[in-house]
Amino acid sequence: MNRILIVEDDPSLGRGLVIALTDAETAPTLAASCADARRLLAEQAFDLCIFDVGLPDGSGLDLLTELRQVSVTPVLLLTANDLETDIVTGFTLGADDYITKPFSLAVLRVRVAAQLRRAKSGAPVCRVGEYEFDFDRLTFAHGGKPIALSQTEQKLLKLLVENRGRTLPRDTLIDRIWTDGAAYVDENALSVTVRRLRSKLGDDAPIKTIYGVGYTWAVEA
């Protein structure tokens, strides 16, 4: 079942979106504000999020920024503006697609289906520069030469690469890497893992430390 979070403060449009996207394989959930959206995102995982940019207690761009700190869930933005700056801002923050109001529900369904299909199919091999990472087969290479990574290093690499260009806070990385229920994880464990991963990937690895915040897989401007 595909779970979709729709954040739209217009009651009529919100109900219309829920009806249009509900079928045997899709279950939309409607939120009317940033506060409602944050609560729902904390309670469950979604396969796709649709954020209206203009909301009564904030912006869909704020929600997008917060979500990208912890998740690569596809996000489609609904905007009343078709200004280039709004579109660029959305994509810069990590949006996967956008649609400008007013829009055809048929077009929206096609866009949503495309994002869900892309998220589920996901290319198993990720190529970044001279690096080639296959997170399904757990094979990693740099310039054609294989790299042996521990399970912890694999988890860290996957999070950084999937969120490349975005800074992941240390607490977020610790929570998502050490998921075995341990009551306490020494923060030094993350620093050690980062150092070992950098050493194995080589000098070309663009793993950057954002002091006081966390780490990012940097991308060229």
CATH of the domain at 177: 1.10.10.10
pLDDT of residue 59: 93
Tell me the pLDDT tens digit for each residue of 61-118: 999 999 887 777 889 999 887 667 777 788 888 888 889 888 899 989 999 998 888 7
Residues 28 and 110 in one domain: yes
Same domain, 42 and 84: yes
One domain, residues 102 and 152: no
Pairing of strands 75-79, 97-100: parallel
| pLDDT > 60? residue 145 | yes
Phi, psi of 62 (to 5 degrees): -65, -45
Order of all β-strands in the sheet with 2-7: 26-31, 2-7, 48-52, 75-79, 97-100
Q: Identify whether 124 is preceded by a cis peptide bond (ω within 30 of 0).
A: no
Which of residues 121, 143, 176 is at a domain's end?
A: 121
164 lies in the same domain as 136: yes
Q: Domain check: are 210 and 177 in the same one?
A: yes
Which residue range is the domain that position 58 belongs to? 2-121
Among the candidates 91, 121, 151, a domain finishes at 121
pLDDT value at 28 more than 90: yes
**What mean pLDDT is reported for the chain?**
87
Number of domains in the chain: 2
Number of CB atoms found within 10 A of residue 99's CB: 16
* Whole-structure pTM value: 0.58
Strands 207-210 and 214-217, bridge-based pairing: antiparallel
Q: Is 113 exposed, middle or buried (0-12, 13-18, 19+ CB in 10 A)?
A: middle
List, for residues 117-132, the tens digit of each pLDDT value. 877 765 556 777 788 8
- Region 136-155: mean pLDDT is 87
Q: Are residues 39 and 144 in the same domain?
A: no
Which amino acid, residue 37?
Answer: A
Same domain for 85 and 188, yes or no, is no
